[in-house]
A and B are shown apart, each in its own frame.
Chain A
Amino acid sequence: MKNLTIKSILFVITLSCSLNQAHASDDNLYQALGGEPVINTITKELLDRILNNEKIAFLFEDTVRDELHEKIVSQICMETGGPCVYEGLDMIETHSGMDIKYSEFDVFVSDFIDAMEAAEVPYRLQNKVLAIFASMREDITYE
Chain B
Amino acid sequence: MRNFTWLFIFLMFASTLQAGSRQLGTGAVMQVEGSSGSGIVPWATIAGYGESDETDFTGAYTFLGTDDYEFEAHGVAVGWHNRLEFSLARQSFDLDTLGPAIGLPGATLRQDVFGLKVRLAGNLVYTKMPQIAFGVQYKKNKNFLIPGLVGARDDSGVDYYISASKLFLAKPFGFNGFATVTLRSTEANEIGLLGFGGDLGSRHINVETSLGLFLNSSWAVGFDFREKNSNLSFATESHWRDVFLAWIPNRHVSVVAAYADIGDVATLTDQKGFYLSINGSF
Contact = CB atoms under 8 A, between A and B. Distances in A.
A107 interface: yes
B21 A131 contact: no
Interface stretch (B51-59, B109-117, B271-279): B51-59
Contacts of B179: 11-12, 15
Given A19-B168, A103-B20, A109-B23, A124 B173 contact: yes
Most buried by B among A1, A102, A138: A102
B169 A131 contact: yes
Contacts of A102: 51-53, 82
Contact of B22 (A20, A106, A125, A138): A106
A107 B207 CA distance: 35
Interface stretch (B64-72, B94-102, B209-217): B209-217
Contacts of A22: 169-171
Nearest to B176: A127
A65 interface: no
A110 B209 contact: no
Interface stretch (A2-10, A35-43, A66-74): A2-10
B44 to A, nearest CB: 13
* A contacts with B: majority SS: helix
A103 B179 CA distance: 24
Contacts of A1: 225, 227, 239
Contact of B207 (A5, A19, A127): A5
Contact of B21 (A8, A11, A106): A106
Sorting the interface of chain A by its residue count into under 10, 10 to 19, 20 to 34 or 35 or more gives 35 or more
A130 interface: yes
A134 B126 contact: yes
Contacts of A63: none
Nearest to B164: A12
B97 to A, nearest CB: 25
A110 B19 CA distance: 13
A106 B225 contact: no
A135 B123 CA distance: 11
Contacts of A11: 179, 211
A55 B21 CA distance: 10
A12 B173 contact: no
Nearest to B217: A123
A143 B52 contact: yes
B181 interface: yes
Contact of A113 (B173, B209, B217): B217
Given A15-B168, A123-B216, A131-B170, A8 B227 contact: no
25 contacts: A5-B225, A8-B209, A11-B179, A12-B211, A20-B128, A22-B170, A22-B171, A101-B53, A103-B20, A103-B51, A103-B52, A103-B53, A106-B51, A107-B21, A110-B21, A124-B175, A127-B169, A127-B170, A128-B169, A130-B169, A134-B126, A134-B169, A135-B128, A138-B126, A138-B127
Interface of B: 20-23, 51-54, 82, 123, 125-128, 130, 166, 168-177, 179, 181, 207, 209, 211, 216-217, 225, 227, 239
